């Protein structure tokens, strides 16, 4: 039997985009003949993912898992929303989210983790799943949160099943309080974040590039008024206050009670619970955000 080297497996994988273990099996079955191995994979339907890899995958599901004081959120994309109803796909998204709870928010580390059911890596399992389902599948992103003292709250919007849906939110709350009351606060806060989509917890957390971009726009708008530079700067600072209210979690109007700021809500909750409640970190994943979708010409001939 011909020796199947790692370089030969890699060459076949690069040629077909099939999983590493599938490539090794194909080469073993064909005595190391790479072209015969390509045909073997094609007959098994395992090289088809190569043809699909260039197609845009902007549908799919967001998955969330919480394990004690750790939580993780993943986004797994497909080409059509039909796949989101596939039992295999749903199970994969849930399983990847659970693995991410252990691995953390490193995408490369997650892709290299072993998928126990098959022995393949998660990255290879994605390729195998694409071949099985018949669409381009991508594990797009992952993030994780944790807290040393407190709870991890979660919320899934448009849930297709427990822990999977179109929007996923995790919130790490730091507090000494325990019980249903603090869980309720966390749940409401996660629901607010899903609806209001803040970009930072407070003003000091707003990314510098986002702030400068907003400031530049406001300066141009103010200068159009023709007023003196000193007045323009005051106008800009005033309008930046409105910007902060829109993007900073603690300054946003709470969606369930618009007369109350989120910061005030947490302060009141801390007094009621007998311990301060602080948002240590939050993550919000919305399915397909930032992906440029193909605009098909419906009038074109098929």
Classify each residue of 59-75 as buried b or exposed e, where b means 16 or more C-beta atoms within 10 Å of its C-beta. Answer: bbbbbbbbeeebbbbbb
For residues 57 and 165, which has the higher predicted lDDT (pLDDT)? 165
**How far apart, in Å, are the Cα atoms of 203 and each of 154, 212, 243, 262?**
24, 13, 10, 14
For residues 17 and 285, which has the higher predicted lDDT (pLDDT)? 285
Q: Is the pLDDT of residue 287 over 80?
A: yes
Q: Is the pLDDT of residue 21 over 90?
A: no
Of 46, 50, 44, 40, nearest to 17 (Cα)? 50
**Taking all residues of the chain, what is their mean pLDDT, rounded to a whole number?**
87
List strands edge to edge, sheet with 70-78.
138-146, 70-78, 59-67, 164-165
Tokens of 91: 């199970």
Cα three-residue angle 248-249-251, rounded to 5 degrees: 70
Give the pLDDT band of residue 293 (cuts 50, 70, 90): low
User: Would you state the pLDDT for residue 220?
Assistant: 80
User: Would you state the pLDDT for residue 33?
Assistant: 84
User: Would you state the pLDDT for residue 296?
Assistant: 46
Domain range summary for the chain, segments of one domain joined by +: 9-47, 59-178+279-286, 203-277
Burial of 98 (0-12, 13-18, 19+ CB in 10 A): middle
Structural domain 203-277, CATH architecture: Orthogonal Bundle (1.10)
Residue 110, φ and ψ in degrees, nearest 5:
-65, -45
The 8-class DSSP code of residue 3 comes to -
Q: Please indicate whether the domains covering 59-178+279-286 and 203-277 agree at the CATH topology level.
A: no
What does the radius of gyration of the chain's CA atoms come to, in whole angstroms? 24
Q: Is the pLDDT of residue 260 over 90?
A: yes
Cβ-proximal residues to 59 (8 Å cutoff; 6+ apart), any chain: 77, 78, 79, 80, 81, 83, 84, 287, 288
The 8-class DSSP code of residue 248 comes to B
- The model's pLDDT over 205-258, given as tens digits with 9 standing for 90+, comes to 998 888 888 888 888 878 887 877 777 778 887 788 888 999 999 999 999 999
CA distance linking residue 231 with residue 83, whole number of Å: 55
Give the number of other Cβ atoms within 10 Å of residue 267's Cβ: 14
Give the pLDDT band of residue 45 (cuts 50, 70, 90): low
Could you tell me how many residues make up the chain?
302
- The model's pLDDT over 261-286, given as tens digits with 9 standing for 90+, comes to 999 999 999 999 999 999 999 999 99
Helix (H, G, I), strand (E, B) or coil at 267: helix
Helix (H, G, I), strand (E, B) or coil at 280: strand
Scanning the structure block, which residue is given the tokens 């020796």?
3
CATH 3.30.479.20 fits 59-178+279-286, yes or no: yes
* CATH code, 9-47: 1.10.8.10
**For the chain, what percent of residues have pLDDT higher than 90?**
58
Give the pLDDT band of residue 298 (cuts 50, 70, 90): very low
Residue 277, φ and ψ in degrees, nearest 5:
-115, 115
Cβ-proximal residues to 228 (8 Å cutoff; 6+ apart), any chain: none
Tokens of 44: 């098994």
- The model's pLDDT over 47-105, given as tens digits with 9 standing for 90+, comes to 555 445 555 667 999 999 999 999 999 999 998 889 989 999 999 999 999 999 999 99
């Amino acid at each position: 039997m011909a020796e199947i080297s790692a370089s030969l497996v890699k060459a076949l994988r690069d040629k077909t985009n099939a999983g590493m273990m599938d490539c090794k099996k194909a080469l073993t079955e064909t005595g190391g003949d790479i072209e015969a191995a390509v045909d073997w994979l094609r007959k098994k339907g395992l090289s088809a993912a190569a043809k699909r890899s260039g197609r845009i995958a902007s549908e799919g599901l967001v998955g969330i898992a919480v394990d004690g004081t750790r939580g993780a959120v993943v986004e797994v994309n497909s080409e059509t929303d039909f796949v989101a109803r596939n039992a295999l796909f749903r199970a994969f998204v849930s399983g990847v989210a659970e693995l991410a709870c252990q691995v953390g928010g490193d995408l490369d580390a997650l892709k290299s983790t072993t998928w126990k059911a098959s022995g393949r890596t998660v990255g290879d399992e994605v390729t195998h799943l694409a071949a099985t389902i018949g669409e381009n599948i991508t594990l797009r992103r992952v993030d994780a949160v944790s807290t040393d003292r407190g709870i991890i709250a979660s919320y899934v919007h448009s849930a297709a099943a427990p822990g999977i849906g179109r929007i996923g939110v995790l919130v790490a709350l730091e507090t000494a309080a325990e019980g249903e009351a603090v869980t309720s606060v966390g749940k409401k806060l996660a629901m607010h974040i899903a609806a209001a989509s803040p970009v930072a917890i407070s003003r000091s957390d707003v990314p510098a590039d986002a702030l400068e971009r907003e400031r530049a726009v406001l300066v141009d708008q103010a200068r159009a008024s023709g007023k003196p530079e000193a007045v323009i700067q005051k106008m800009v600072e005033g309008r930046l206050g409105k910007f902060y209210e829109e993007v900073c979690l603690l300054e946003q109007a709470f969606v369930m009670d618009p007369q109350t700021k989120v910061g005030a809500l947490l302060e009141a909750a801390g007094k009621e619970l007998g311990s301060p409640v602080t948002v240590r970190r939050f993550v919000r994943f919305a399915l397909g955000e930032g992906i440029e979708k193909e605009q098909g010409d419906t009038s074109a001939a098929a």
